[in-house]
Amino acid sequence: MTTFKSLGLNPALLSAVEKLGFEAPTEVQEKVIPILLQQNTDLVALAQTGTGKTAAFGFPMLQKIDSSQRTTQGLILSPTRELCLQITNEMGNYGGHLKNINIVAIYGGANISEQAKKIKRGAQIVVATPGRLKDMIRRKLVDISAIEYCVLDEADEMLNMGFYEDIKSILTHTPKEKNSWLFSATMPQEVNTIAKKFMHDPIEITVGTKNSGAKNVNHQYFIVGARERYNTLRAVIGMNPDIFGCVFCRTKIETQKVAEKLIHDGYKAAAIHGDLSQNQRDAVMQSFRKKKIQLLIATDVAARGIDVEDITHVINYQLPDEIETYTHRSGRTGRAGKLGTSILFVTKSDRRKIKLVENKLQTKLTELEIPSPKEVFQFKIEHWVEQLKTTPIKSDLNPYLGGVLKNLEAFSKEELVELFLSKEFQSFDFNAKPLEFKKEGASERHSERTINAAKDKDRFFINVGARDQYEWQTLKDFLRSFLKLDQDDVFQVEVMKNFSFFSTHNKHRDLVLKSFDGLVLDERKVNVELTKKGKTYSPKKHFKKGKKKKRSHF
């Protein structure tokens, strides 16, 4: 068996390996570490996240750096703040036994002078996102003119995110004779171009098959009608009670809607998308990582750089536009030797695209039948019974057992089981048509439509908006909790810069109008008014109206 020692790591790094409990090098480490330690070369490695690639470039960089010098010798570029922090953390762990090593992360959305101060103390290794690094170079807050090693991590993601020009500009500030090490999960044309343009005879390493999804991932798909996606998702969750999954949607709005429906239906879910602030995104990710959230509903952009272990399922709520994106999505499961499942929801008209995915991945996708509500229910009962059989007995209940037994002695065993099942599964709708598990499953849109048709909807103006740091979903959450209304009771929330609109059923009219009476937010009186009945919403009209109102209200 290959060991880290046989790859040529020095004792300080070997101590770190031991402390971290790494038993053997991963494939990418086995292939990359000896090359980078022994040769001064450029390198292109095709490897997904989760393969141990950070250590593959991290150990050689740490070993080659002269820690007695305070100049910046190593630069690692990463697409997102999340990944940047992760790499810095990992590098800190790997270099924990080295003396005087200073590794500094620089990324957008955080205090630039704090980061500059850390760099000034002397950072031999800088881990950076391209935008912030470019900014700091321009302001002369960081000097990368003497670096010897430059890593482009997740190069395909960086290019996807439009960092080509930034990377090009950053590289002009680095010495020609440095070694560049490029890591990428896929090898689209753009990455090839970067490799050709900025690297000299790079050694190429491939881990697993080129452009393929992780080997440990089982790829499956359902043919769904346009309106069947949500219920198919619920069926998948129903058949996989221990799911810890990521659901990918195309739009921010869809992400939010799916998450809201899942929460409403009792699942631990949350959405992550570009409309959330960095802090909100961090909070969601932390909950997901700690498994307080079972299902993360994400857009591709928001999910970039997310590296969470143990994801059991990736669900493609819609087919992504690019097949490369499917590879990225599915690569988030099936890591560290574990098995994962990637599921695609495909409409009949998109069926032919399955072949394209299969060709790209060079693997077969399995078509699954959407389980009927009865099948899901049968499975749920069996699962529940299995769990029941292995529930640890609580001895604290012993004193109460006699009384309960006496109380139930008139019931036969069958009757008792019937009672338990009825209590446990009382919310299941046995008369549901296929794919209608519950009335709520028929979606918020349905209830909205009913309200619209009956013209019993009220639309309100409120004088808070984006300048008060509200986005539609945060305002909706605030209104729901402030008015103590349910999930579906506040809808069609539209946030403008200085004001917003929302709708409720007209039975809540008095509650809405009275509740805000006297409420002051940031020394400003909160004002809520009913908009003109029957008028459809037109941003232009309301903008004028809002302007007038603003004068009278403040």
For residue 299, give the nearest of 246, 350, 260 by alpha carbon.
246
Closest approach, Cβ 29 to ligand AMP, in A, equals 6
Least distance between ligand AMP and beta carbon 115 (Å): 23
Task: Tell me how far apart the 2 most distant CA atoms of the chain are, in Å.
Answer: 88
Q: Which of 341, 413, 428 is nearest to 381 (CA)?
A: 428
Give whichever of 11 and 392 is closer to ligand AMP, judged by the CB atom: 11
Q: Which of 432, 448, 457, 445 is nearest to 507 (CA)?
A: 457
The least distance separating ligand AMP from the CB of residue 360, rounded to whole angstroms, comes to 22
Cα→Cα distances 474→254, 286, 460, 466, 494, Å: 16, 19, 17, 10, 11
How far apart CA 144 and CA 125 sit, in angstroms, is 10
Minimal distance, residue 321 CB to ligand AMP, in Å: 26
Nearer to ligand AMP, 76 or 237 (CB): 76
Q: Which residues, in sequence order, are CB contacts of 171 under 8 Å at separation 6+?
A: 150, 198
Q: How far apart are CA 219 and CA 323, in angstroms?
A: 14
* Least Å from the CB of residue 51 to ligand AMP: 5
Report the residue number, 25 or 465, with the smaller CB distance to ligand AMP: 25
Residue 63 CB, nearest approach to ligand AMP (Å): 15
| C-beta of 25 vs 238, nearer to ligand AMP | 25
Which residue, 186 or 503, has its beta carbon nearer to ligand AMP?
Answer: 186
Q: Interface residues with ligand AMP (CB under 6 A)? A: 22, 25-26, 29, 49-55, 90, 307, 336
Give min distance, CB of 87 to ligand AMP, in A: 8
Whether residue 207 contacts residue 47, with contact meaning beta carbons closer than 8 Å, is answered with: yes
Nearer to ligand AMP, 181 or 221 (CB): 181
Listed in sequence order, the residues at least 6 apart from 282 whose beta carbon sits closer than 8 Å to its beta carbon are none
Q: Which residue lies nearer to ligand AMP by CB, 185 or 493?
A: 185
Q: Give least dist CB 11 to ligand AMP, A.
A: 17
Residue/partner pairs of 504-513 with CB below 8 Å, 24 or more apart: 504/457, 504/458, 504/460, 505/451, 505/456, 505/457, 505/458, 506/456, 506/457, 506/458, 507/456, 508/458, 508/483, 509/458, 511/483, 511/485, 512/458, 512/460, 512/483
* Residue closer to ligand AMP (CB basis): 54 or 232: 54
Distance separating the N- and C-terminal Cα atoms of the chain: 74
